[in-house]
Amino acid sequence: MVNRTRLVLMMLGGVILLSGLFALGLSYFAPDTAAARGPVLLSVFIAILLVSLLSIILLLRRLLRPYRQLVGEAERAPVAARATKPRDEGQFVLETFQTIVAQLQAQQRELEALSARDRARAASAERFSERIVASVPSGLIAFDANGLATVVNAPARALVEAEGGEIEGRSVRELLGNSPDLAEMVERCLQTGEVYRREEVTATGNVGQVRRLGATVAPIDLSTQPDGARGALCLLTDLTEVLQLREQVALKRNLESLGEMSAGLAHEFKNALATLHGYAQLMQSLKLDDSGQEASTALLQEVRNLSEMVTAFLNFARPQPLDLTDVSLRELIAECALELRALYEERRVELILEGNFADVRVDERMLRQALLNLIRNAAEAIGEESADRRVQVRGLSQHDATGTASASVEIQDTGEGIEPNNLQRIFIPFFTTKSAGHGVGLALAHRVITDHGGTLTAANAHEGGAIFTIRLPEQATINPN
């Protein structure tokens, strides 16, 4: 607009300048007499005046064109409450645009209020979503299309045992490194959209503890992402205790069935062994040579070993009713340690008692027998070549999710541990890895603990050796059969 006005003014100035030059030219060529020069100069002056007036009129029309357009727009402006059009067009335009500005300001304030409400709603929805995610008892992990974690709630942090403060933004393999099978499922879900429902996977903890997890992996639709990109949602549940209890129940039922079927047969064996024992003693009373005496002594010893094995199996197959009394686990384990002192000194093994031992309501005689078997096995599991020769017995009081108190006793040795394939078989009667042994001690200990409503589990420690964990309800009568 300014450039156009300047151009018009320059053109007007040029016309006037040309008119002046034209007038000077005429005056130069006009006759010298005053009578002849007067009409010529008057004509030139009138011409210059007309041209100047015409140029000024054109300039004013051009300058006033935006103003007329502004007045027209003001007349067409959608003003809600328009007053009577004033005679002064400038005042009319000013009032119109003041009204429009006021309306725009009011609409701006309304938009700001709406934006504030939307921001408040978005923040409230985000906080609500965060509370929902935090309240989910299962582990929840969300991954974006690049396989980076975006949401990880507290249960998931505990299950994957992620170290460090900030774990959002970690990759699938980095976050789920302790469970390669789960990481592979998440990656396959991100690539193909495949859904996994209630899959069972294993996760190895930082201390070597193996967890058994139930996993559900499903794709997340990311419509805003190009090329059909998708995220993945992973739900995790710790099934370790549930599966262990299920296995314990199944093992208990199998052992009960085995005991009922085998009790009669074992009783017949015991009768036959009693007869053999009598004949062996009779042979020793006879006058035999040295080889005969040696053979009869060996026979008598074998008969006694078989009789002890059958007696132990009968105790397992036909458990006696529990005589429940209040027992201090600390005192009971101290008595077992005193009874096994000779064995520990002979094998040069140190027995360490530590932790808090609770009071339980159990059959003291039967629990003593189970503890003796476990503590004795721990010492015998340490080979002669082992430099670290320790057995630790730790006591711990715990509460489960329902608030039920339980007393735990962990018996850990520094031996070679248990073969993974044998962890589920060591409590089966007559299964043993020892060169000398009947394989009934652990089965009997398991039977005693389960009859008290507790659990007995075995695992390998991260630093080596085996851990047997006894868990008994505190001051509770569960199974008085």
Q: Please report which helix (H) or strand (E) contains residue 302, including its range.
A: helix 290-317
**What is the DSSP code (8-state) at residue 356?**
-
What amino acid is encoded at 282 in this protein? L
In a domain, 123, yes or no: no
481 residues of the chain, pLDDT tens digit each: 545 556 666 666 666 666 666 666 655 555 555 555 666 666 666 766 677 777 777 766 666 666 666 666 666 666 554 555 555 666 666 677 777 777 788 888 888 888 888 887 877 766 766 666 666 667 888 888 888 888 888 788 778 776 656 777 788 888 887 888 888 888 888 888 888 888 888 887 665 667 788 888 888 876 655 555 788 888 888 887 777 777 767 766 766 666 665 666 666 677 777 777 777 777 777 777 777 777 778 777 777 777 776 776 666 566 667 788 899 999 999 999 999 999 999 999 999 999 888 888 898 888 998 899 999 989 988 888 888 899 999 998 776 555 567 788 999 999 888 887 777 778 776 667 665 655 667 878 888 888 888 888 888 887 788 899 998 887 543 343 3
Specify the pLDDT at position 333.
93
Q: How far apart are CA 241 and CA 406, in angstroms?
A: 14
Residues 327, 465 within the same domain: yes
Sign of the CA dihedral running 115, 121, 125, 130 = positive
Tokens of 300: 């008598």
Lookup result for tokens 């030059």:
21
Residues 61, 199 within the same domain: no
In a domain, 376, yes or no: yes
Residues 351, 475 within the same domain: yes
**Domain count along the chain:** 4
Specify the pLDDT at position 386.
85
Those residues with Cβ within 8 angstroms of residue 78's Cβ, 6 or more apart along the chain or in another chain:
none
CA-to-CA separations, 253 to 250, 259, 317, 377, 450, in angstroms, rounded = 5, 10, 12, 25, 11
In a domain, 84, yes or no: no
Residues 360, 286 within the same domain: no
Residues 425, 460 within the same domain: yes
Residues 215, 294 within the same domain: no
Domain finish residue from 54, 76, 98: 76
User: 448 and 289 in contact (C-beta within 8 Å)?
Assistant: no
Tokens of 407: 């007393």
- Count Cα neighbours of 92 within 13 Å in the Cβ-side half-sphere: 18
Q: How far apart are CA 261 and CA 339, in angstroms?
A: 34
- CATH code for the domain in which residue 225 is found: 3.30.450.20
Residues 328, 375 within the same domain: yes
Specify the pLDDT at position 375.
93
Specify the pLDDT at position 335.
92
Residues 222, 278 within the same domain: no
In a domain, 417, yes or no: yes
In a domain, 471, yes or no: yes
User: 223 and 201 in contact (C-beta within 8 Å)?
Assistant: no
**Degrees to nearest 5, angle at CA 176 with 171 and 178:** 140
- Burial (0-12, 13-18, 19+ Cβ within 10 Å), 112: exposed
Residues 457, 402 within the same domain: yes
CA-to-CA separations, 362 to 35, 348, 457, in angstroms, rounded = 151, 32, 19
- CATH code for the domain in which residue 370 is found: 3.30.565.10
Q: How far apart are CA 107 and CA 367, in angstroms?
A: 82
Give residue 4's region: left, alpha or beta (phi > 0; psi -120 to 50): alpha
Q: How far apart are CA 336 and CA 330, in angstroms?
A: 10
In a domain, 336, yes or no: yes
In a domain, 93, yes or no: no
In a domain, 94, yes or no: no
* pTM attached to this predicted model: 0.46
Residues 179, 312 within the same domain: no
Tell me if residue 196 falls in helix, strand or coil: strand
CA 232, chain centre distance (Å): 13
User: 350 and 390 in contact (C-beta within 8 Å)?
Assistant: yes
Residues 212, 258 within the same domain: no
Domain finish residue from 238, 263, 283: 238
Residues 380, 301 within the same domain: no
Domain finish residue from 200, 218, 238: 238
Q: Which structural domain, as residue segments, surrounds residue 43?
A: 2-76
